[in-house]
Amino acid sequence: EKALKMIRKNKLKTVIPIMNISMVITVCTLLQELLESQAALPQDQVEPVFVFAMVWGLGGCLCSDKTAKHRKEFDSLWKSEFKTVKYPNQGDLWDYYYDISRKELVPWSQKVPEYIPMGDTQFANIVVSTVDTVRISFLTQCLVNRHMPVMFTGVAGSGKTTLAKEFLRNLD
């Protein structure tokens, strides 16, 4: 409740209109997927996983472009308001994921696979993983695993279609 009030009080804008309950459902869905994907999560790791789900479920839908820096403001507000899980000083909330095996926040950049050229692939079909594609794919997988809808937003040419095609291509 405190985090939702923080978003509304500071008039942080979302990419599209979204109800509080939808953000809460996203938090719960991410949390369920992250907790149930582990055999037995030690009690001391539940809170960092919860915080990760809160950050993405509440803040992931906020505007972030040249004119609106609502994600940046959310980052500052979150770090000053919620201090039980300490994020590193460099970067922002969106730059880290909670690695359960290491019991720490780790930069998404460490999950980006090395690009290996694929012989005769057509140029238009080449997808090079980036921090953005890795984190969006991870979050998409969490939501899809729970049968939740996912909507990519962004300006023309931002990679929405490529993300969706690559995600579908990599389904088991």
Q: Is-contact 32 13, C-beta < 8 A?
A: no
* pLDDT given at position 171: 82
φ, ψ for residue 24 (rounded to 5)? -65, -40
Length of the chain counted residue by residue: 172
* pLDDT given at position 118: 76
Structure tokens, 38: 């582990």
* pLDDT given at position 172: 66
Q: How crowded is the C-beta side of 150, counted as CA atoms within 13 Å?
A: 22
Structure tokens, 122: 């057509």
Q: What is the CA radius of gyration of the chain?
A: 17
Residue 78 burial (C-beta neighbours within 10 Å; 0-12, 13-18, 19+): buried
* pLDDT given at position 127: 79
Positions of the chain with pLDDT under 50: none
* pLDDT given at position 25: 96
